[in-house]
């Protein structure tokens, strides 16, 4: 089997990599295990220096890495540059704060000395998606490495060039060889890696289907697992929201990365009093988006990352239309192009039972629904299997606070687009997964929280 790097804006195959066989996987895990023995014994401050070097390398080569992302998965290049900026930030954040976050915590237990020590857990396998091919990896690699663990990357099969480039960043930053190791493998080989006793844990960012499968393997082999899975974030617009501002933010929230983000706003829940006004304003802004070559700086919407994703979003829209959804704009793939382009799309009249209501949608498709009042808004927002992000748009701070209490999601943003930030924990509930990344919660996911108790006298 092979891994294909394909330019989604043209459909052209750029490179083909042969998948590693069982023997090669074994050899690499063995090398990673030796590297881990060295890495875990470095001072935290030395690991921090290597993270700082990684951030410098990213800064120096930002344009080239951004171009690689754009070429391999179609992200508009300006957004790809922003992605690299975030990777720089997360490396700097853990380089600066990691040592403090991992410090021993002394607990008063009388005359004796007791404390909690965070020691490395071992080698962590990261199964990653293609949608933020650099950010997703750096987001978990920076804290995992800072804590003294080894890192094995099984990246999505369609971004092998990004996977190799990231490995090179860490190697050039001075991490001992194989401390960060990319495995050129498909999803079927994940079981083999997890079954290896030298691998201690697994972190997964991907769909809920993948999460179920890998959580099952983690159960079989008794390995710690963190799951960062899909989402169907509600974007709730109350009747006192600033329509113009909120509609502008709504377009950004839905269309970022051509709609292929776990925390993109997917279901727009709009108070009936302002439904028409908001819908008109939002739809007009969607029609102004420029779709085309993702390498052009003026492009807002690029191709979807793979052909099957284009087919899937089209099928979800068609099935919803058959059940009564109304297309206000778009609603189909761009014709006469070899690239995987889907028109920026707005649909209204979304109801329970439609794919756009209940499934995660990965593409530039906004699903609008009208609600009578705030009570119905909360009910609709929570009427999903997912629980990743959510946002509420209102001038009334007290109403915002009420929603914070009611919404079932890993985060609630009031008058701001859902986004991740190294200083704040990130993750979901329900079918969006469990465990957290980023902040001190993220760095504590893959450590042995060791209790130390030392008696002073016999
Ligand atoms: P995906 O199909 O679940 O793939 C993610 C990774 O899992 C890939 O490396 C894939 O490898 C691997 N994989 C797939 N099936 C597997 C299996 N049965 N056993 C072991 N590994 C398996 O997801 P995607 O299409 O790449 O990414 C989109 C999904 O990720 C969306 O659901 C999105 O919401 C979610 N996501 C979540 C977050 C978050 O933080 N919560 C962030 C970004 C994306 P192959 O490529 O080789 O199949």
CB 122 within 8 A of CB 149: yes
Complete DSSP assignment for 248-272: HHHHHHHHGGGG--TTSEEEEEEEG
- Report the alpha-carbon distance of residue 392 to residue 401 in Å, rounded: 10
Which residue blocks in 188-326 are alpha helix, DSSP H? 190-195, 208-221, 243-255, 275-287, 307-322
Alpha-carbon gap, residue 124 to 138, rounded angstroms = 14
The predicted structure's pLDDT at residue 12:
98
pLDDT score for 378 = 98
Q: Is 213 a catalytic residue?
A: no
Residue 148, by phi and psi: left (phi above 0), alpha (psi -120 to 50) or beta? Answer: left
pLDDT tens for each residue of the chain, 458 residues long: 899 999 999 999 999 999 999 999 999 999 999 999 999 999 999 999 999 999 999 999 999 999 999 999 999 999 999 999 999 999 999 999 999 999 999 999 987 899 999 999 999 999 999 999 999 999 999 999 999 999 999 999 999 999 999 999 999 999 999 999 999 999 999 999 999 999 999 999 999 999 999 999 999 999 999 999 999 999 999 999 999 999 999 999 999 999 999 999 999 999 999 999 999 999 999 999 999 999 999 999 999 999 999 999 999 999 999 999 999 999 999 999 999 999 999 999 999 999 999 999 999 999 999 999 999 999 999 999 999 999 999 999 999 999 999 999 999 999 999 999 999 999 999 999 999 999 999 999 999 999 999 987 77
Question: Which one is catalytic: 118, 262, 281, 411?
Answer: 262
pLDDT at 111 (0 to 100)? 78
Closest CA to 181 of 133, 130, 126: 126
pLDDT at 110: 86
C-alpha Rg value of the chain to the nearest Å? 23
How many Å lie between the centroid of ligand 1 and the Cα of residue 433?
12
Cα 107 from Cα 458, distance rounded (Å): 21
| Full-model pTM | 0.97
Choose which residue among 156, 209, 386, 418 to substitute to test ligand 1 binding: the one with the highest number of ligand atoms within 8 A of its C-beta: 156
- Kindly give the distance from the C-alpha atom of residue 74 to the centroid of ligand 1, in angstroms, as a whole number: 17
Closest CA to 428 of 130, 227, 153: 227
3-class secondary structure, 188: helix
Known catalytic residue at 445: no
Pocket test for ligand 1, best of 134, 187, 232 (most atoms within 8 A of CB): 187
What's the sign of the alpha-carbon dihedral 295, 300, 305, 311?
negative
Per-residue confidence (pLDDT) for residue 457, from 0 to 100: 74
Q: Which atom of ligand 1 is nearest to the CA of 426?
A: 40
- Name residues contacting ligand 1 (CB within 6 A): 127-131, 136, 154-157, 186-187, 190, 205-207, 210, 213-214, 228-231, 262, 360, 388, 428, 432
427: buried, middle or exposed (CB in 10 Å: 19+, 13-18, 0-12)? buried
């Amino acid at each position: 089997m092979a891994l294909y790097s394909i330019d989604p804006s043209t459909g052209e195959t750029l490179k083909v990599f042969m998948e590693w066989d069982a023997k090669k996987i074994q050899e690499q895990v063995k090398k990673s295990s030796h590297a881990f023995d060295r890495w875990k014994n470095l001072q935290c401050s030395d690991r921090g220096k290597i993270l700082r070097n990684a951030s410098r390398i990213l800064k120096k080569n930002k344009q080239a890495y951004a171009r690689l992302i754009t070429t391999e998965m179609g992200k508009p290049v300006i957004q790809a540059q922003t992605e690299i900026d975030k990777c720089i930030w997360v490396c700097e954040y853990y380089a600066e704060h990691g040592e403090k976050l991992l410090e021993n915590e002394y607990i008063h237990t009388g005359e004796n000395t007791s404390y909690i020590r965070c020691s490395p857990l071992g080698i962590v396998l990261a199964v990653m998606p293609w949608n933020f091919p650099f950010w997703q990896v750096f987001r978990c690699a920076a804290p995992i490495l800072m804590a003294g663990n080894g890192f094995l990357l099984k990246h999505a099969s369609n971004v092998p060039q990004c996977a190799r480039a990231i490995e090179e960043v860490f190697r050039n930053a001075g991490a001992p060889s194989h401390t960060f190791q990319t495995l050129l493998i498909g999803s079927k080989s994940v079981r083999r890696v997890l079954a290896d006793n030298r691998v201690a844990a697994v972190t997964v960012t991907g769909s809920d289907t993948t999460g179920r499968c890998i959580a099952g393997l983690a159960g079989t082999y008794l390995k710690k697992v963190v799951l960062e899975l899909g989402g169907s974030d509600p974007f709730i617009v109350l009747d006192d929201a600033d329509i113009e501002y909120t509609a502008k933010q709504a377009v950004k929230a839905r269309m970022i990365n051509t709609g292929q983000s776990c925390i993109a706003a997917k279901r727009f829940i709009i108070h009936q009093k302002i439904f028409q006004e908001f819908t008109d304003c939002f739809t007009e802004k969607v029609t102004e988006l420029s779709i085309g070559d993702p390498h052009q700086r003026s492009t807002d919407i690029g191709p979807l990352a793979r052909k099957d994703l284009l087919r899937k979003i089209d099928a979800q829209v068609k099935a919803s239309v058959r059940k009564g959804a109304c297309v206000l704009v778009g609603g189909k793939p761009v014709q006469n192009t070899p690239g995987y382009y889907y028109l920026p799309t707005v649909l209204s009249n979304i109801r329970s039972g439609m794919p756009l209501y209940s499934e995660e949608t990965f593409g530039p498709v906004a699903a609008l629904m009208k609600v009578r009042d705030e009570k119905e808004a909360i009910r609709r927002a929570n009427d999903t299997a997912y629980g990743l992000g959510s946002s509420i748009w209102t001038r009334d701070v007290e109403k915002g606070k009420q929603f914070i209490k009611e919404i079932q999601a890993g985060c609630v943003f009031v008058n701001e687009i859902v986004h991740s930030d190294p200083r704040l924990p990130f993750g979901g509930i329900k079918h969006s997964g469990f465990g957290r990344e980023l902040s001190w919660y993220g760095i504590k996911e893959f450590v042995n929280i060791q209790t130390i108790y030392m008696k002073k006298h016999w």
